[in-house]
Structure 1
Amino acid sequence: MVAENAEILVRFEEVQKSYDGEVLVVKNLNLDISKGEFLTMLGPSGSGKTTCLMMLAGFETATHGKIILDGESINNVPPHKRDIGMVFQNYALFPHMTVAENLAYPLVVRKMSKADIETRVERALDMVQLGGFAGRRPAQLSGGQAQRVAVARALVFEPKLVLMDEPLGALDKQLREQMQYEIKHIHDNLGVTVVYVTHDQSEALTMSDRVAVFNDGVIQQLAPPDQLYELPENSFVAQFIGENNKLSGKVTGVNGATCTVEVDGSGEVKAVPVNIDGIGSRSSLSLRPERVMVNPSDGVCPNVFDARVEELIYLGDHMRTRVSVCGHDDFIVKVPNSAGHVHLRPGETVKVGWQAEDCRALDA
């Protein structure tokens, strides 16, 4: 986690980007990234996250505003003079060069001595556990090995900042998860600043110190992974991060730390008022599936409803249970597979309940 008084390495000030002079792809972006931080820009396609990364790299120019790196404006600095390492989804390795020559290339361009280059290449290969691969060509590497070489090449000249654009998108699930941990460990060991772009929320939650969730060119929420998941500030973040139950209704009362929402024709729900317009306004309730209890003891939950079990899917450590409740047929409950937990059957009616503090009243 980045310290409160950490030094700022990257600053976006009122940055806008338009490709046609009319539609803004990035709208008034203000964002500080601290030295040593791992910040992920997360969002669906077209949300503006990759455009922000490309402006920082110098491959796109900002239509308005300033981008500052280490105290200096870089709006007019060409990409090769920004001292930034880049890792792309397609690796972008030179096929005619060996692994060692690929790693040496950024050092040769910087006119380093031969001895320095050899030392740094060896150290970079050890860092990504590819010590014996120096003489191979990219075509002789697996996808995971090629991606490690791409990471090593981005780090070999010890840049101030490393940018990663969907770097694990081409890998299979198991390898992708393994590489997430490896990149995170390299970041922890080197203390380099990383700005990472992905549309994969589990990747963002696993690796990041903070996550900036983008939608429609605007950061919807900027927070550490646990806060994004547990405390979403609006409906978009609640739906985009993790699995989420959404119930719609009208706010009928607000009493300090709780509010009451009349769920369309199905009864009242007590919730935490987070992003509502007051009594009479529409709201959508956000509730994580693991926070819902099946057949709770009397008096334990302020919110208890009858639910019909529609579908059970066995997922090893829990049973993903789809129920029909409050007029919604796609309400999900995660029932742990542990001793003492109920065995449900499709078609039966059960009680489901949850605490008011686990349910967030958000924008409609």
Structure 2
Amino acid sequence: MREPRSPRASLDPPGDVVRFRGVRKTYDGRRLVVDDLDLAIRRGEFLTLLGPSGSGKTSTLMMLAGFEPVSSGSIELDGRAIDHLPPARRGIGMVFQNYALFPHMSVGENIAFPLDVRKLARSEIAARVGRMLDLMKLEGLADRRPAQLSGGQQQRVALARALVFEPKLVLLDEPLGALDKQLREHLQYEIKHIHRRLGVTMVYVTHDQSEALTMSDRIAVFAEGRIQQLAAPQTLYHEPATDFVAGFIGENNRLRARVVEAARGGLVAALETGEGRIRAVTAGIATVGEPVSLWVRPEAVVLDPAPGTVDNELVGRLCETTFTGDHVRLRVETGGSDAFVLKLHGRRTEASLEAGRPIRIGFCAGDCRAIASST
């Protein structure tokens, strides 16, 4: 197989390729869907814009692509303002959720289209299209029409068309949303490997947390038009900065409490229900008397912990047991919550875990994160 040539973007100097400076977006002149966005996108990174519907992530991508104007502020590409430029003059590759392939063109013609528009020589077009067909595992499909392809093959064609003209930046708007779960997960890894191989900057929009955690170098978590936290996937998962991020990224348990002791990096908080005190690490400076949310991941919770193995213990009532294949999921009523979850991995049977029975659980202080309560 021929080795595809890396795009010119990978030869550019390090630094930020895109900058949003105080960008706002409103569609009705009243409500801001993007509110004072300041964001720097690093050259060569895979950045995901993640958030629920209406959070501002897609509007941010559309402004960067040029399909929506900014209401105020500016967007720069390689230090040059692009707010006034139409999409075709920004030199940005784009992959849409519905792929937007030309149905009357063959696979090869679809991939070649950006090169035809730029009036490259026929020999150069043929060489680039050939490299993309190899890279995307589309050999032998150049003469087929999009309707003759599977959803995964159409997605590869759309990505090849976005990459073939060697852009500095590729934008992907939920490109896997229309695919079934197994194919979607397979293509997540394919896109990630292509990104690493070519080194082009990619900005990816999704509402799927698992997809974002799997694919990204960094994730910008959006809510109500603002970035709540921008960090690597591991940091977002283990060190959320706000209640929203803690509750949105992955499955998490929340207990409400009030600080009774505070020290650098840690605290002791009394549960609002009066069921006891919990030791935790803290996301910021804690003040005695301050209300906090205590967050602990289901996989960090131990059933019937041995004496001295955990910092925190709670008793409760088992509400529900669910077998999911690779683990057993327990839902427990404890600490003022009837939706406290823990996961038991391995081959442990759930036969003795009957709903309604008393249950004892525990977790370490380092696995419990205290965040100043937002409500």
Structure 1 and Structure 2 fold alike (TM over 0.5): yes
1:359 aligns with 2:346: no
Match of 1:119 in 2: 127
Which SS does the other structure have where 1:20 is aligned?
A: coil
> Is the Cα–Cα contact under 8 Å of residues 55 and 224 in structure 2 kept in the other structure?
yes
Instruction: Give the 3 Å change call, closer, same or farther, for CA 290–162 of structure 1 in structure 2.
Output: same
Does the residue aligned with 2:366 lie in a helix, a strand or coil? helix
Partner Cα separation in structure 2 for residue 174 and residue 214 of structure 1: 27
- The offset of 1:293, in angstroms, is 0.8
Aligned to 1:285: 294
Aligned-residue offset at 1:275:
4.6
Gaps of 5+ in 2: 1-12
3-state SS, counterpart of residue 297 of structure 1: coil
Sequence identity of aligned pairs in percent?
Answer: 56
- In the alignment, the residues of structure 2 paired with residue 255 and residue 31 of structure 1 have an alpha-carbon distance, to the nearest angstrom, of 33
What secondary structure does 1:285 align onto? strand
Cα separation, 2, equivalents of 1:256 and 1:106? 56
Q: Using the TM superposition, give the Cα deviation of residue 334 of structure 1 relative to its aligned residue in structure 2, in angstroms.
A: 0.7
What residue in structure 2 maps to residue 226 of structure 1?
Answer: 234
The question of 1:242 aligning with 2:250 is answered yes
- Given residue 258 of structure 2, which amino acid in structure 1 is its aligned partner? K
Q: Report how many aligned residue pairs link the two structures.
A: 360
1:312 aligns with 2:321: yes
Shift of 1:310: 1.7
* Aligned equivalent of 2:98: 90
Partners of 2:290 and 2:372 within 8 A in 1:
no
SS of residue matched to 1:320: strand
AA in 1 matched with 2:291: R
Question: Counterpart of 1:54 in 2: which secondary structure?
Answer: helix
Q: Does 1:20 align with 2:28?
A: yes
- Judge conservation of contact 1:87–1:167 (CA < 8 Å) in 2: yes
Q: Does 1:329 align with 2:352?
A: no
Relative to the length of structure 2, the TM-score reads 0.93
The 3 A distance-change label for structure 1 pair 232 and 295 is same
Per-residue deviation at 1:252? 2.1
Equivalence for 2:78: 70
2:349 & 2:109 partners in 1: Cα distance?
Answer: 60
Q: Which amino acid aligns with 1:202?
A: S
Please tell me whether residue 274 in structure 1 is matched to residue 274 in structure 2: no
Structure 1: runs of 5+ lacking an equivalent? none
Alignment of 1:195 with 2:188, yes or no, is: no
Stretches of 4+ aligned residues off by more than 4 angstroms = 338-343
Q: 2:15 aligns with which of 7, 15, 23?
A: 7
TM-score, length-scaled by structure 1: 0.95
Aligned CA-pair RMSD: 1.7
308, 316, 322: which one aligns with 1:299: 308
Distance in 2 between residues matched to 1:16 and 1:212, nearest whole Å: 16
Aligned to 2:6: none
Counterpart residue type for residue 335 of structure 2: C
**TM alignment of 1:165-180, pairs within 5 A:** 165-180=173-188
Q: Which amino acid aligns with 1:225?
A: P
For residue 195 of structure 2, what is the amino acid of its counterpart? H
Secondary structure at the counterpart of residue 75 of structure 1: coil
Conserved 8 A contact 1:11-1:67? yes
